[in-house]
Structure formats: C-alpha cells, structure tokens
Amino acid sequence: MLNAETYVTKEKGIGGTIRNRYEDFYVEEIPIENLLPTGEGPNVWIWIEKLGRTTLDVLMDISRDLHISRKRMGFAGMKDKKAITKQWICISNMDSEEQFEEVKALDGEIYNTKFLKIVRGQKKLRMGQLEGNKFKILIKDINTDYSSYQEAANIANNIFKKLEVSGVPNYFGWQRFGKPRTNTHLVGKALVANDLAEAVRLYIGNPYEEEPEEVKLARKAYDDGDVEKSLDLMPTGMRYERIMLKELLKEKNKLKKSSTRINSSNNCINSYNNINSNNESINSNYNEDNNSTNNDISSHNRDINSNSIDFSLNDSDFNYLNDKSYKKAIFALPKPLQRMFVHAYQSYLFNEAVSKRVAMGINKYIEGDIVIDNEEHLIHNESPEKLQEMIFKFEADPTSPLYGTKVPFAEGKVGEMEKNILIEENLKKEDFECPKTPKLGSHGLRRKMRFKIWDASAKATEDGVLTEFSIDKGSYATAVLREIMKNDVV
C-alpha cells in the first residue's frame, strides 16, 4: 500500500495474488437497516450487482439512459471495479409510475450490471450511509514454501485471530490512488499547491509506461501542447480525460478567437497611422480616436494578461489557456471525482501517519492521543486507564489526521510525529484551503487509525485460499489481505 510501512502481525505471509479474475473478488454492502426502502415513496432504490465497473460509471450510464442529472443519484460508497460487487443506489424524485417503469426497463441494458431489486423508498441514500462491507476473496499463487493450501489457510486463520483482537491498520488502499497509474494523490498535491495547469497535466498528460500505446500517444500529445490531437487520440473509454479535453478545447478556441480580434484591431490601427501620418488635421482627429481605441485595447490586454495568457509565437495550445480554463476543465468532472484528488493526497499523508502511529502500538493508548468513539465523537475527560479499556473493547479508537485547515494535532510524541509529516512535505495546514479551487479545499478531520474485523475465516480450495470477512465502512479489504499475504496487495 502506498506510503504504508508497518505490519501488525509477525507471521510470514502466504504470498499469492488476487483478482486473477473479477469473480475471485466479491464485495457486498452491509446496509443500515432502518434506511432500507419500504416499497413506498418518491425515490427509487436499486440493489445492483456489477462486474468490472466503477460505481460512478454505472450511475453515469443510468442517468444518461434516463435523461436525468447524475446529481439525482445517490450511493453509500464506491465499490471496487475489479470485482463482483453488490450495493444500493438511489434515484431521487421519481414519483410517477411511468418513471418507475422506465427504471425497470433498464434492467439488462446497463453494461455488466444487474438490477437485483427495484423498490420505492421515502429516504434518499447518501455517501457513508452503510454499516460496512463483507468480502469473499480468493488468493491464488500461494507461496511455494507452504506444502499445501491447507497449511497456508491455517496460517491465514491464525493471523485473522490476532487481527480480530488488535484491529487492522486503517490504511487507504491502492484504489484510492490508482494502479498502475498512481497519480490521483499527485493531482491533489498540485491543487493544494495552487498549480492548476500542473494538476490538469498530471491527469490528462504524463503517460505511464504500463498504459496501452494509444493512451500514451494521447497523453504525449497533450504534453506537447496539442489539445485537439490529444482528444482525437484519446480512446472513448477514457471518459474523464475526454471530458476535460473537450472543455479545454472549447476554452482554447474561444481565447484564440479573442486574441485574433485584438491582433486584427492593432493591425488596423497601425495601417491607419501610416496612411494619415502626414495629414496634420486628420492625424489630430485620429489621435483622439486612436487614444481611445488604444486605451480599450490596452484594457483588454490587461484583462487577458491578468489571466496569464501568453500569446507567444509558438503553436502550443497552452498559450491560449489560463487558470480559469484549467479550473473549468476540473469542474467539468463529476463532483465525486473532483473531490477525490485532494482526498487522495490527504490519504497519502494519512497512511504515513498511521504507519508511524501503529509502530507505537495499534491497540495501545499513547499519552496525547486524540480518541473517538464508535459514533466518531471525540472522547474528553476520561482517564488513560479508561481509554485503554475502551480501545481494547473496540468501544473507542486512537486517530490519525486527514490533514486540512482545521484538523487538530495530537499532543506529546504523537503530535510531534504528525507535525513533522507536514514539515517534510513543506506544507502548512492553511495550504489545504486551495484558494484557486476553494470548493476542493478541506478542513480535514481525525480518522481512526485501525478498524474492526469480524466473521473472518480462511479455507483451502482447489485454486488457493478463500478468505471471508466483514469490516467497517470506509476501510479497505486490501489492508486485511496485506497482513495475510505480506506483499503489495492491489
């Protein structure tokens, strides 16, 4: 896992690989019972099963086919792409029976997606409204040091028992950052640094060696300053890159047209000056008009210069783009993806803080810790002994910072460690305001540095070791598998 160094368990891992097939990785959402749809109400809930698709892709396909805004669609959490997953989604304000029938008619029409239930409900579904997730994950290619899959399964069960007592480090998995194109957090870092051009370049350009050749060519075209060529070459499956490129192309054409008008005005004025240079009377009248025209043009040029447009002689499209252009491209993306960039950078720093805090003792209270209960409320005025007891019983957890403008630091040696991470990144908390994109800024929060695992087991199969377990919402199954396998789990 990116920026995660510490393990809780000492056993040698069983090695292996996961996701050899999408069917080897199964995720099922554990809903909050009192939120489930009752059969009546203005909203339509769909219990979906998807294969090899992101949650956001499915929602965008449904909104497209229903001709509605994606903003009317809610879900409790993003589920893995490279997996079979089940989860609830909700479409708000679908009052009529005709609309309900339109939703039912989509069953079987959305790529690699099944509608297992379609039910009316009074409530809407919002991000975070779930209890957790249950997993069934097959580990293949087990380390050959083990004589049998059963021996490996025994080791996995021993590790599970220890994790059920201690908890699991609450690392963010590779899904948060992207793999093999691990750049989401780098885009976020650029946004925190207020470098919008670099943020867009990192997302659209910046080809990775592991990518398909046609994608690399499209990204290189962008890096070379040819937005239109990049759009032409970018495969249709690269939906979000294409959304941004279309916005940038529209901006480039608009600003280039504007610059052409300015140059044309200047040329006309110069010609007029030459023709009438010897005519004192006309020249006198002209100068009065010319000063006014020049003032208008100078003002226009000042407006353009204030937006940092460089109309130089080379042909790079970047000469016709500015911070406003890049901002429009970023905000053309779906809102969950917009927010993901800075969140990913926060997650990158969080992983480092967790790694260092876990090394001090994952289920141990350290003087100065900020501790939260299971409702994520800060715990005040409890003795160290009481806090230790609550942590041992999973009634409370120590936290680490998702850095932001208002996140509090722990005290003592834990707090010093947290502050040093920011210093090493040459950051201050205020930087997370993201002044050029304030909607993407973050106050930050304290997030528990471990999570609970239950109903955990491992058994040998013909193909490897099948693991089953349930974990809290917002936590990553790969953080569990990392302890079992002791390798880089993707």
Catalytic residues, by residue number, are 80
Contacts of 410 (CB under 8 A, 6+ apart): 368, 369, 370, 399, 418
Q: Which helix (H) or strand (E) is 481 found in, with range?
A: helix 477-485
Closest C-alpha among 334, 175, 178 to residue 243: 334
**Alpha-carbon span 166 to 419, nearest angstrom:** 26
Give buried/exposed letters for 311-333 (b at 16+ CB in 10 A, else e).
beeeeebbbbbbbebbbbbbebb
**Is 90 exposed, middle or buried (CB count within 10 Å of its CB: 0-12, 13-18, 19+)?**
buried
Give the DSSP per-residue string, 335-379: HHHHHHHHHHHHHHHHHHHHHHHHTT-TT---TT--EEETT-PBP
User: Residue 162 has which token pair?
Assistant: 């220890």
Which residue's entry shows tokens 């199954």? 477
Strands 84-91 and 25-30 come out as parallel
Q: Which helix (H) or strand (E) is 45 found in, with range?
A: strand 43-51
Closest C-alpha among 150, 225, 123 to residue 458: 150
Which residue's entry shows tokens 């100078």? 298
- Three-class SS of residue 407? coil
